[in-house]
């Protein structure tokens, strides 16, 4: 697989699907990078607004597609390999649900529909950005969410 071509394709998907959620908050596409995961490919697509950076990343090795937030001065590093500890998951700044294990298992089972393919996974990430952006932004600024 051509890493640069794969990154370009992934960046296009991210901009087309998640870009809508991000543009409502003043984000613009900044850049995309490719990372070699020991023979496997990974990519990160970065967006910027005046307050922070957002990255949508894909890791072939981890089998993961996810989103992270950082202050505007953060390095353009794939979130899974961030040595600065500036890149944080959006949901780190919200209270964890206090539900019984059975109910949590049911919720996770119901969420499987969001991970059927890359498009549905990216759509789900767009809703996560909508749900968690305000608290994550406050968190990286050291503030309590409003």
Going from N- to C-terminal start, the domains of the chain cover 3-140
Q: Indicate the pLDDT class of residue 2, thresholds 50, 70 and 90.
A: very low
Q: Which of 95, 62, 100 is nearest to 78 (CA)?
A: 62
Structure confidence by residue, pLDDT tens digits, 94-137: 877 676 777 666 665 556 555 566 778 898 899 899 999 999 99
Segment 55-97, tens digit of pLDDT: 999 988 888 889 999 999 999 998 878 888 899 999 888 877 6
- Residue 78 gets the label, from left (phi > 0), alpha (psi -120 to 50) or beta, of beta
pLDDT at position 146: 54
Do the beta carbons of residue 126 and residue 20 sit within 8 Å? Answer: yes
Phi, psi values for residue 39, rounded to 5°: 100, -10
pTM comes to: 0.83
pLDDT band at residue 27, thresholds of 50, 70 and 90?
Answer: very high
């Amino acid at each position: 697989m051509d890493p640069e071509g794969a990154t370009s394709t992934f960046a296009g998907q991210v901009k087309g699907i998640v870009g809508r959620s991000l543009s409502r908050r003043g984000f613009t596409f900044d850049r995309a990078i490719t990372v070699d995961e020991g023979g496997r490919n990974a990519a990160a697509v970065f967006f910027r607004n005046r307050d922070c950076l957002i990255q949508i990343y894909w890791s072939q090795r981890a089998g993961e597609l996810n989103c992270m937030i950082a202050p505007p001065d953060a390095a353009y590093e794939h979130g899974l390999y961030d040595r600065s500890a500036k890149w944080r998951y959006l949901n780190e700044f919200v209270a964890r649900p206090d539900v019984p294990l059975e109910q949590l298992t049911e919720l996770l089972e119901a969420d499987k529909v969001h991970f059927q393919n890359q498009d549905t996974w990216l759509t789900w990430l767009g809703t996560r950005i909508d749900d968690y952006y305000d608290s994550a932004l406050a968190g990286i600024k050291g503030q309590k969410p409003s």
